[in-house]
Amino acid sequence: MTADSWRNLIEHIGLLYQEYRDKSTREEIETRRLQDSQTDPEETSPSEETPSEAEPTSTTENKAPPQISLLRNSNSRFNLWQDLPEIRSSGVLSILQPDEIKLQEAMFELVTSEASYYKSLNLLVSHFMENERLKKILHPSEAHILFSNVLDVMAVSERFLLDLEQRVEENIVISDVCDIVYQHTVSHFSVYITYVSNQTYQERAYKQLLQDKPAFREVISQLELDPKCKGLSFSSFLILPFQRITRLKLLVQNILKKVEEKSDRESTALDAHKELETVVKACNEGVRKMSRTEQMISIQKKLEFKIKSVPIISHSRWLLKQGELQQMNGPKTSRTLRTKKLFREIYLFLFNDLLVICRQIPGDKYQVFDSAPRGLLRVEELEDQGQSLANVFILRLLENADDREASYMLKASSQSEMKRWMISLAPNRRTKFVSFTSRLVDCPQIQCVHPYVAQQPDELSLELADVLNILDKTDDGWIFGERLHDQERGWFPSSMGEEILNPKIRAQNLKECFRVHKSDDSQRRKLGSRNRQ
């Protein structure tokens, strides 16, 4: 592909990546709704089961001008591999099995979505980063924090897309793309970790610039109004790399679900998925690391120890949950009394390895009067004993700060808050429903239809079309879920999703997840065997 044809191709891609991503996930939601309403999920047609939402790139640009002319129309429905003129005219659709057509669509979506992503990255650089007015306003250090290593990210995307395009042009039927994904993830995708790890600084710098520099705010607003941006905000362009690396992992999962079991393509897809998962985890850790460190320093400053001091700041420690509960006063025999005077306020800081129990004192300070390792905590829910003792549970410290066992009767403000504390304090406690790792054939499931940003450490941020096992739920509208594609757990409002009612679809979702993560399972079995030895 010549440089001119390459530029021409990118220029004529219909959708920016933000549009592609939104369109793709919404169609995925609609596909699941359709499948869920059917008695037999196998009745779903191939095109319904394969949400491919990017406008296609030219797989053979010099050979197929009609493709490029359709790409110029951003409203074109010309977005499936099987709709390409070369595919239709070749007769290959009558030869391939339906499962292979689904696989071709999944691989084609990975290629076309990368082209859409590159188009958006290119706009971030050419329209915003290289704008002369913006350059004059920003100090070089501010520009560096704001745009980080986006030029490296774009160069990696371009190299990746060129290799994908070359593969697509080799044969009318795509042989594989996961081998290319694997090679680039191992060799080049570390640039994503650098970019995403800068996200906290980036967000802070952007807010500060908007607040402190009216000229910056004015230029950004004008640039956002340009028709090229299609009404999308500057911040939506800044977050593109993190969204893409996460989405790429899901696209490889989609391919993995469709390749033949025990085939070379399955092996390659598993390898690509494993490497992508490593990069995504490193990105997540990079984002968390700075905010966690700052948070721990802030907490340390607020604590005053009535007991022997415990060092709070540690590179391996982070906050899981904090908040106020009411502790019951007096002996257990007084439980039957119905008066609020039974309770006094206490404040808990729960870390991944430590619980600190405090009372709030003047000056936004907390006096620590007990503590225990998290692994030595046990919880027990009290049976309903009337309104005064509703949402009450027992917290036992098997070994507290005085090296003895201690019990606290604690009252939460609501049922959901009580359950959230109990699950956080004793994570291995059995939940109402089973987890992904239990391998149960059926389990309540929900798909996300509204995105959600976690507000507390024990909550889970959700993306559109996420599918989760429901582990627990409360009467006041909260769900404790485990996301299938990465096994992350957390709480979220039940209004963010729709339950999947068809047991066959739920079983299919679990089966696909077991397959995607079977390499992880074999690794866990090896480790378990080694530990037993």
Cα 177 from Cα 123, distance rounded (Å): 26
Residue 24 near residue 80 (C-beta atoms within 8 A): no
Superfamily, domain 4-33+78-293: Dbl homology (DH) domain (1.20.900.10)
Cα 512 from Cα 259, distance rounded (Å): 11
- What's the angle, vertex CA 243, arms to CA 242 and CA 245, rounded to 5? 65
Reading phi first (left if > 0) and then psi (alpha if -120 to 50, else beta), residue 262 is in left
Residue 65's pLDDT is 28
Residue 524's pLDDT is 42
Nearest to 151 by CA among 174, 128, 133: 128
CB count, 10 Å around CB of 39? 7
Q: Provide the residue ranges of all domains of the chain, joining segments of one domain with +.
A: 4-33+78-293, 306-332+339-425, 437-526
Cα 295 from Cα 231, distance rounded (Å): 35
CB count, 10 Å around CB of 237? 23
CATH 2.30.30.40 fits 437-526, yes or no: yes
**Burial class of residue 42, CB neighbours in 10 A (0-12, 13-18, 19+):** exposed
CB count, 10 Å around CB of 113? 24
Cα 55 from Cα 113, distance rounded (Å): 8
Report the DSSP pairing between strands 354-361 and 497-500.
unpaired
Residue 9 near residue 122 (C-beta atoms within 8 A): no
Strand partners, 303: 366
Nearest to 202 by CA among 232, 233, 229, 235: 235
CB count, 10 Å around CB of 164? 24
Which own/partner pairs from 82-90 qualify as long-range (CB within 8 Å, at least 24 positions apart)? Answer: 82/47, 84/56, 84/59, 86/59, 86/60, 86/172, 87/172, 90/172
Please report how the helices 503-516 and 17-37 are oriented relative to each other, as an axis angle in degrees rounded to 10: 130
**Burial class of residue 494, CB neighbours in 10 A (0-12, 13-18, 19+):** middle
Per-residue pLDDT 10s for the chain (533 aa) are 444 444 544 555 678 888 878 888 888 888 888 888 875 544 444 433 433 433 333 333 333 322 322 233 343 334 688 888 888 888 999 999 999 999 999 999 999 999 999 999 999 999 999 999 999 999 999 999 999 999 999 999 999 999 998 998 888 899 999 999 999 999 999 999 999 999 989 999 999 999 999 999 999 999 999 999 999 999 999 999 999 999 999 999 999 999 999 999 999 999 999 999 999 999 998 888 878 888 999 999 999 999 988 889 988 999 999 999 999 875 544 445 445 567 899 999 999 999 999 999 999 999 999 999 999 999 998 876 666 678 899 999 999 999 999 999 999 999 999 999 999 998 876 666 655 455 555 689 999 999 999 999 999 999 999 999 999 999 999 999 999 999 999 999 999 999 999 999 999 899 888 888 775 555 444 434 433 33
Residue 39's pLDDT is 58
Nearest to 28 by CA among 43, 13, 49, 10: 49
The gap between the terminal CA atoms of the chain, to the nearest Å, is 56
Strand order in the sheet with 319-328: 303-305, 365-373, 354-361, 343-351, 319-328, 406-411, 392-397, 377-381
Residue 70's pLDDT is 26
Cα 210 from Cα 203, distance rounded (Å): 11
Across 341-351, b (16+ Cβ under 10 Å) vs e yields ebbeebbbbbb
CATH class of the domain defined by 306-332+339-425: mainly beta
Residue 215 near residue 137 (C-beta atoms within 8 A): yes
Strand partners, 351: 319
**Burial class of residue 108, CB neighbours in 10 A (0-12, 13-18, 19+):** buried
Residue 350 near residue 374 (C-beta atoms within 8 A): yes
Tokens for 375?
């692994």
Residue type, 280: V
